[in-house]
Amino acid sequence: MGESLRIYAKLVGAQGRAQASYRTSFWLDLIGSSIIVGADLIAVLVIFSRVPALGGFSISQTLVFFGIALTAFSIADLVVGNIERMRNYVRMGTLDAMLIRPLGVLPQLLANDVGFRRAGRVVYAGAVYVVALSYADIDWTPGRVVLVVSAPLFGAVFFAAFFVATATVAIWWVESGELANALTYGGRDLTSYPISIYGGWFRRMFAFGLGFAFVAYYPGLALLGDPDPLGGPAWLGWASPLVGIAASGVAALIWRTGVRHYRSTGS
């Protein structure tokens, strides 16, 4: 295990050196991605300039959900974001070269482009989260101190699992286009708002069937100490580690099955 981590670190380091050989594009990406990401926050602020509450939550409460979701997503994106290239790797047959090495394919693929350039977004998301928490007037208990850190981390685990699972679809369906991206970015955007604003079958499927309610909504409620307008019990706020781990298990299964179905290319 330790040895594997060391090899992984070597690969990441090598990739960092490779990226540094394209220095200008690295900085441009870093700046560009930080600007783009600011737009989501503005969207929330614009909504609250029109309505006083969303799904029963004020702006300061909603920003806590938003902060957790954004931080979780940007951490996941930093670590496993390169999986969005899976489709190209499958189409070009690049996975061949990874399959003949005595390492897992997933770590190799992720090490291929750890997003140093996406690091800026984590910092930005963390800042939004901290500001949101300071406005939210939280009654700090030891449990909530743990939760404030664990929520974005297990949310990141959940998002990472979702990234991997959706990207794997490309193995069966090479022409899947931007489907995987649409799902992951869509998942982030939907998670940024209290799920009480969604209704009926959509909420059941998205929030509970897929588990997105446990990324930001329930941990956020537990931090704020607010009851669930949907009537869920309070302990749901502490369930995100379980949901994150379960999602990882499912993603690992899909990934393994996918790699066995990989068909390479004819030349």
Partner 1 sequence: MKVIEARGLRKEFVVRVKAGAIRRQKRVVAAVDGVDLAIERGEMVGYLGPNGAGKSTTLKMLTGVLMPSGGDVRVCGFTPVPQRVKLARRIGVVFGQRSQLWWDLPLGDSFDLLRHIYRVPAAEHALRLDRCRDLLDLDAFMQTPVRQLSLGQRMRGELTAALLHGPEILFLDEPTIGLDVVSKQAVRGFLAELGEKGDTTMILTTHDLADIERLCQRIVVIDHGRVVHDGTIQALHDRYRSRRRVIADFDEPIQTDIRLPGVELESSTGTRLIFAVDEVGPLISQLTQIGSLRDLSIAEPEIEDVISRLYLSS
Ligand X SMILES: Nc1ncnc2c1ncn2[C@@H]1O[C@H](COP(=O)(O)OP(=O)(O)OP(=O)(O)O)[C@@H](O)[C@H]1O
Which residues make up the interface to ligand X (CB under 6 A)? 263-266
By CB under 8 A, residue 12 contacts partner 1: no
Q: From the CB of 7, what's the least distance to partner 1, in Å?
A: 5
| CB-based burial label for 24 (10 Å; 0-12, 13-18, 19+) | exposed
Is 163 within 8 Å of 85 (Cβ atoms)?
no
Min CB(161)–partner 1 separation in Å: 22
The half-sphere exposure of 47 on its side-chain side, counting CA atoms within 13 A, is 16
| 11 touches, from ligand X, partner 1, none (C-beta below 5 to 8 Å by class) | partner 1
Quick check: helix, strand or coil at residue 267?
A: coil
Question: Interface with partner 1 by CB under 8 A: which range of 1-9, 122-130, 152-160, 223-231?
Answer: 1-9
Query: Which residue is nearest to ligand X, using beta carbons?
Result: 266
- Shortest distance, position 117 Cβ to ligand X, whole Å: 32
Tokens of 237: 């706020």
Nearest CB to partner 1, comparing residues 114 and 190: 114
User: Nearer to ligand X by C-beta: 102 or 266?
Assistant: 266
103 vs 160: CA distance, rounded Å: 20
Q: Which of ligand X, partner 1, none sits in contact with 100, Cβ below 5 to 8 A by type?
A: partner 1
Neighbours of 120 (CB within 10 A): 20
Per the CB < 8 A criterion, the answer to whether 184 and 42 are in contact is no
**Cβ(189)–Cβ(40) under 8 Å?**
yes
Element (H, E) at 118: none
What whole-number distance in Å separates Cα of residue 162 and Cα of residue 183?
9
Residue with Cβ nearer ligand X (134 or 265): 265
Q: Which is nearer to partner 1, 153 or 252 (CB)?
A: 252
Question: Which of 9-17, 77-85, 179-187, 195-203 is the region at the interface with partner 1 (rule: CB under 8 A)?
Answer: 9-17
Residue 221 to residues 56, 224, 228, Cα–Cα distance (Å): 12, 5, 7
| Amino acid at the residue 144 | R
Which CB sits closer to partner 1, 204 or 263? 263
Burial 144-155 (b: 16+ CB within 10 A, else e): beebbeebbebb
Q: Which of 35, 99 has the CB closer to partner 1? A: 99
For the record, the structure tokens of 7 come out as: 């090899």
96, 137, 178, 189: which one contacts partner 1 (CB under 8 A)? Answer: 96
Nearest approach, Cβ of residue 264 and ligand X (Å): 5
Interface pattern 104-123 for partner 1 (x via CB under 8 A): x-------------------
> Which stretches of the chain bind partner 1, using CB under 8 A?
3, 6-7, 10-11, 14, 17-19, 21-22, 93-97, 99-104, 260-264, 266-267
